Amino acid sequence: MYLLLSPRCRKICRRLRRHQRQPELIPCGLRHRTADVGPLSDRFGRKPVLLLGLAIFAVGCLGMLWVRDATWLLVLRFIQAVGVCAAAVTWQALVTDYYPASRTNRIFATIMPLVGLSPALAPLLGSWILAHFDWQAIFATLFAITLVLMLPAFALKPAHKKATHADAKPITFISLLRTKAYRGNVLIYAACSASFFAWLTGSPFILHDMGL
């Protein structure tokens, strides 16, 4: 998703737009329906939701190879964002499903720095690809990576679910929002994510204008 975070995005969108009045901002990192992925994976399983999300993302990447105007560029980027939500949410649930509580903290501590580092390194790779190939090569690369990631997803075996009480009340978003500890953690995470993605989206253009 982050490979196209580059100052060259403006040139690409202008070239595709021609004389149409289309917005130049490519919604990189847009996450839509993220809140639905968790409940869906609880009901239908992590594997089907993850595979569906990866398939949607792959379709969005594949469509980019034939896009010829900025409208379809934005539509397909939106489709990619919808698909990537599945991986962004289910990987955390997979850790808690497949590993005991004594190991989850260590696994999260290992993975989270990589998650934070990938959006910073991906634009560099995207710029390198744009310097040597046409811009469609970025989405061909993403399509190939997605197909590779689908292989271990297909091999996932059902996790041993913990027994639940039949009379246990389902957890709703309203009940979570009423929890003070939950609200505090969510606000902290939301503020950090918002500032990070704001910097990630705008910094390439600012640094480019500064000649860096």
82 and 100 assigned to the same domain:
yes
Q: In the predicted model, is pLDDT for residue 162 greater than 80?
A: no
pLDDT in tens, 81-126: 888 888 888 888 888 888 888 888 888 888 888 877 777 777 778 7
Enclosing domain of residue 148: 8-157
Residue carrying structure tokens 């744009």 = 130
pLDDT at 206: 73
| Domain annotation covers residue 115 | yes
Same domain (yes/no): 50, 113: yes
Q: What is the pLDDT of residues 184-197, one digit of tens each?
A: 888 887 888 778 77
User: Each residue of 171-180: pLDDT tens digit?
Assistant: 777 888 888 8
Look at 26 and 169; give whichever has higher pLDDT: 169
Asked if residue 129 and residue 52 are part of one domain, the reply reads: yes
Same domain, yes or no: 172 and 153: no
Number of domains in the chain: 2
Rounded mean pLDDT, 4-33: 51
Which pTM was predicted?
0.76
